[in-house]
Structure 1
Amino acid sequence: MKTAFTWPRRGVYLLTPDEADTGHLLARLEPLLALRPALLQYRNKAAGPALRAEQARALQARCEAHAVPLVVNDDWRLALQVGAAGAHLGEHDGAIAGARAQAPGLWLGASCYDDLERARAAVAAGADYIAFGAFFPSGTKPLARRAGPQLLQAGRALGRPVVAIGGITPDNAAGLVRAGADLLAVIGGVFDAPDPADALRAFQRAFEHTDTGTTNE
């Protein structure tokens, strides 16, 4: 549950790839969870409700075993159902204020794309963190709006942890941390790598010699 962890967090925010085979998904994630990413987001745009519920429950169990908070993409009700730490909401996933009123114990994250005003509104509505991006061309969302690094510092002035997402690689990660990112959200940069565990370690190293002024728990 949310009370088992404390903000602010800093590090790699790992997102799951679309994977229909729950056993295969867990097998891919197990060595990565052992490396303790700051957060894991369950994201499967191709899954129907039954598969999403099955996978979210299975991931919550593995996340608890590794003390990694689980965040459910798009669906705060499912996050509550499985006992996840939080939910991440995009522009078509319902209002932050409504989710906050009905799920006061969840961490709530908001996609803010390239829009600082959207971030201000999300914070005012009760968001626990705000996410900007894409910062680089993204294989996951090739048509995503592009954000500039100045948004990271501007977002941090709102008093919430700031997430950078979109086309992030080990080569460009440290620059985003220096620009103000508290968390780096990655999918393909880890799961498409020849050795996903090595890739995750490389992303984690981006935080070793940079400082945004926050610390992990």
Structure 2
Amino acid sequence: MSLKNEIIVDTVPDSQISVIFVKSAIEENEKIYGPIFTRIASEHALQFEAEKLMDKPPENIQNLQEVTNYIINNLDKYPNGYCALMYGIAKAESKLQGSTGAGSKRSAFSAMKSIIESSGMLNSVIGTTGDLFEALDKFEEIGKMVKTAIPLRFIRGENNEVTMVSKNCPYKDACRAFINEGIGRLVGGQECINIICHAAVAEIITKKRFDYKLYEFDKPECRGKIFEV
């Protein structure tokens, strides 16, 4: 077992790769909810992106691929365009479930698992550790290689818990929109894209079950915890 108790990630994600990755998450969620999920997510992602560009949503954009192309073509103006798709996912889940939360966490897990399995990005580390901290360490190393890792700090705790701290999270635009619209967890508390993804990845690698809680947002750090259940 690793003796270190802290992981510091200081890389910036590749915007286009991140957009494509989040698009894949929408496509995987369609397998759970049906085509209506993609339609709702695409509509709200387009609206979000247009507002960030201080533009009117183009009327000729009709589907997810066209929305994705619109976002990619404007990354020079809004580099965090993947936030538009993340917002679209949350809005679709909110409308179809009534709120995000336990259901969305499991759908995020299912979507993430499907993407990872089809890409093979974690094939070499699945089942290699039951320790949450080590699993996150392995994932961050892969994230650096595929250029999706974002600035984060992980602190090992007791009882297979990890505190996750982000000072300059590139997903904050989406999270702020969640707060403004009252999109939260069914079980209470605020949603966090980072923690959802990392909890899901931890489950895939360790084959254990985890939950999470965000207890500080944008002050200016975001701070939360992932823990075994």
> What is the TM-score normalised by the length of structure 2?
0.30
Larger helix proportion of the pair: 2
> What is the TM-score normalised by the length of structure 1?
0.31
Higher RCO (C-alpha under 8 Å, 6+ residues apart): 2
